[in-house]
Amino acid sequence: MAHEGDFHSLLQRSSVAGIVPLQLEEREGRLNENIEVHGTTVIAVKYDRGVINIGDRRATANMTVMYDRAEKVLALDDYTLLAISGSYARAMEVVRYLRHSFKYFERSQLQPMSLDGKLSELARVIAQGLPLAMQGIGGFIPILSTYDIQSNEGRIFFYDGMGARFESAEYGAAGSGSQPIRGIFDYIVKIKKPFHQMNREEALREALLLLGIAADLDTATGGYYVVPPLAKTITAEGITDVGEDELRELIASLPGRN
């Protein structure tokens, strides 16, 4: 006779035997249908006054376009931007956490968190999500851009899936559309000039062109064909949105877009 605490045996002897496994199978099927929404391509490039971040507005779930107004370039504080690709839900959770963490540190310690502290905090939350990411849930890859007041320059950092961080001298890109355009960044730097020597309009124009090429080569990237991308700059004065009218004007002037 089964022990009173043997719930599985109780179900087998009851009139509901056989129903529970079916319900579990149906539930599993519903969970499998609940595919994560992902952000796609984000780009960060330096320019002579700081850093420009742009991201297309498309969010996808498998082969379906779920949303075309997604915001993938988000401010963490007055001098820090996070451009996100991968799991949109996980990215929003991390952004909320980092905003709270930075503000709490500033209020409790009566000084802003150091740049190294911010970078380490982001690395820690990426690493914490690794077990789920390895199961195909919640994986995301960010680019962190900041204006370093101490060194008086814009800086770009990117991460791998385990939280290791790297600093880029000129640019960063993440998301499904970033792979096909990686070589083009180097081509621009070598044939034209380094991004950090470009003015704002030059750097923004190159970033938009790169995003358009990514959209041509990657079906998950929306580019700027329907909705203008989201673009922000970060300088010694802080973070500023690039207006939609300016973006549309620049997009119209790009090669092959007339």
Q: What is the pLDDT of residues 22-74, one digit of tens each?
A: 343 334 343 344 556 666 789 999 999 999 999 988 777 777 777 778 888 99
Q: Are residues 17 and 119 in the same domain?
A: no
pLDDT digits (tens, 9 = 90+) for 93-152: 999 999 999 999 999 999 999 999 999 999 999 888 877 777 767 678 899 999 999 899
Quick check: is 1 in a domain?
A: no
pLDDT at 212 over 80: yes
pLDDT at 3 over 80: no
Residue 170: both structure tokens together: 């000129």
136 torsion bin: left (phi>0), alpha (psi -120 to 50), beta (else):
left
Q: Are residues 32 and 43 in the same domain?
A: no
d(CA 128, CA 102): 18
Q: Are residues 59 and 186 in the same domain?
A: yes
Q: Which domain holds residue 146?
A: 37-253
d(CA 206, CA 198): 10
CATH number at 225 reads: 3.60.20.10
Quick check: is 80 in a domain?
A: yes
Quick check: is 26 in a domain?
A: yes
d(CA 155, CA 126): 20
Q: Which residue has the higher pLDDT, 63 or 153?
A: 153
Q: Which residue has the higher pLDDT, 177 or 247?
A: 247
Quick check: is 162 in a domain?
A: yes
Q: Are residues 16 and 131 in the same domain?
A: no
Is the C-alpha dihedral spanning 65, 68, 71, 72 positive or negative? positive
Q: Are residues 137 and 209 in the same domain?
A: yes
Q: For the whole model, what pTM was predicted?
A: 0.81
pLDDT-based confidence at residue 156 (cuts at 50, 70, 90): very high
pLDDT-based confidence at residue 17 (cuts at 50, 70, 90): very low
Q: Are residues 16 and 96 in the same domain?
A: no
Q: Are residues 104 and 183 in the same domain?
A: yes
d(CA 228, CA 3): 64
Q: What average pLDDT does this structure show over 72-97?
A: 91
Flag the least confident range among 87-96, 169-178, 222-231: 222-231
The domain total for the chain is: 2
Q: Are residues 79 and 31 in the same domain?
A: no
Q: Are residues 17 and 54 in the same domain?
A: no
Q: Which residue has the higher pLDDT, 28 or 76?
A: 76
Interstrand relation of 59-61 and 38-39 (parallel, antiparallel or unpaired): antiparallel
**Residue 99 CA, distance from chain mean position:** 15
Respond yes or no: is residue 80 known to be catalytic: no
Q: Are residues 14 and 44 in the same domain?
A: no
Q: Give pLDDT, residue 38.
A: 62
Q: Are residues 93 and 149 in the same domain?
A: yes
Quick check: is 161 in a domain?
A: yes
Quick check: is 127 in a domain?
A: yes
Q: Give pLDDT, residue 39.
A: 63
Quick check: is 12 in a domain?
A: yes
pLDDT at 224 over 90: no
Q: Are residues 136 and 20 in the same domain?
A: no
d(CA 51, CA 238): 11
